[in-house]
Structure 1
Amino acid sequence: MKNKYTEIVQELSDREITFHLIATQVLLLVIALVIGFFWFDDFSSFWELFIWDDKKIWYVGVGAGLAIVALDLLLMKMLPPSYYDDGGLNKRMFENRTVWQIAGIAAMVAVSEEILFRGVLQTHIGLVVTSVLFALIHYRYLFNKFLFVNILLLSFLIGYIYMVTENLLVTIVLHFIVDFLLGLAVRYDKQPPHEQEGKIHE
């Protein structure tokens, strides 16, 4: 199954990979919109999840994001490349992108996934179920036990931070920092191709 997935990834063009990424994120936003329409009393109750003048956006969101990236990069240096083998999708996604394109991808993923999983789902069904669902949608990580446990723990951490801060902007910024910096790490990695997998949480 994993070998078949890797073959499919390698056969996709850059345009097809971009299309699938955008389509996936739009789908997540549509799902959030539909579910949120029934679960929230009105739009204002959803908008209250965004606290714009909260200093925790910077010292929790940015701080936790940088700490997660630092730990991830350290583990990438210490562990065999196979531990971070996601089938080659992250390498294909970021190796030919500009810094601004990587930032755009990270922002799109952070906004759509946090709105659905933390803003809509966790707000109504709780941390545990939402964290498991978040890990499961990262289909390619199901082929790698280390990556699956990694994304599951990350999901619980982000969910816990959201539960404590009660501000969706904190986790959006955190998610963006992680994906953007790890995307840059994949983009500028000079190792041989088979060792360039890396891990992004989109």
Structure 2
Amino acid sequence: MNRQAKIIQEMSDREILLNLYITQAIMLIIAIILGFFWIDDLTVFYSLFKWDPVHIFLIGGGVAVIVITIDLLFEKYLPKSWVDDGGINERVFAKRSVFHVFFIAAIVAICEEILFRGILQTQIGLVLASLIFALIHFRYLSKILLFTMAVVLSFILGLLFEWTNNLLVPIFAHFLIDFVLGLFIMYKARKKVS
């Protein structure tokens, strides 16, 4: 983790954002390529996007609020070394505007959920898709609590998709978690400066 933290600290803000956006573009490209081979009928894929406010906002949003609450409680009451991700989340969110945090959270949620739930989970199942999702968050591998949280969150998002058969539900939950936690990081960083 120290090596990763050092690399992150040496990167400019521009490099951090460029890496983030490139990673998300790669995920979307992988989703498109896999979808080309695995999906015979695009109407079946499009049917995974349903405007259902009860499922999206009450179920997806409700689950997101629970995850955010647990994350904030961990942040407040557990030793910092247990919840320290090497500074990547702070570097991504600390100096952004509210709109930019919103944009990052939306891009990440859409790209990751299309790949992991919309393509992988529909083709290889909940367990494998969720484990692959957790493993791409490899920066958490050396932190047992953070990796466990990534695995649990992955299964929660996958189960939301299984229960609702609506990709907008895990997309909204993922977005809300990243957006709210990103805002907390942003405001915390600004509070430190003032």
Q: What TM-score range do you get, normalising by the shorter chain?
A: over 0.9
Partner AA of 1:27 in structure 2: I
Matching residue of 2:95:
96
What RMSD in Å do the two structures reach over aligned CA positions?
1.4
Matching residue of 2:51:
52
Partner AA of 1:138 in structure 2: H
Matching residue of 2:160:
161
State the 1:192 CA deviation.
6.7
1:52 aligned counterpart, secondary structure: coil
Unaligned runs of 5+ in 1: 194-202
Partner AA of 1:129 in structure 2: L
Partner AA of 2:3 in structure 1: K
CA distance in 1, matches of 2:186, 2:139: 19
State the 1:4 CA deviation.
1.3
Matching residue of 1:79:
78
Is the deviation greater in 28-37 or in 64-73?
Answer: 64-73
Taking structure 2 as the reference length, the TM-score comes to 0.95
State the 1:54 CA deviation.
4.8
Is residue 2:177 matched to residue 1:172?
no
State the 1:53 CA deviation.
3.5
CA distance in 1, matches of 2:141, 2:52: 38
Question: Which structure has more helix as a fraction of its residues?
Answer: 2
Equivalences, count: 192
Matching residue of 2:16:
17
User: After superposition, what is the alpha-carbon deviation per residue over 1:140-188, rounded to whole angstroms, capped at 9, x for unaligned?
Assistant: 1112111001100111111111101100000000000000000011111
Identity across aligned pairs (percent)? 48
Unaligned runs of 5+ in 2: none
After superposition, residues 21-32 of structure 1 pair within 5 angstroms as: 21-32=20-31
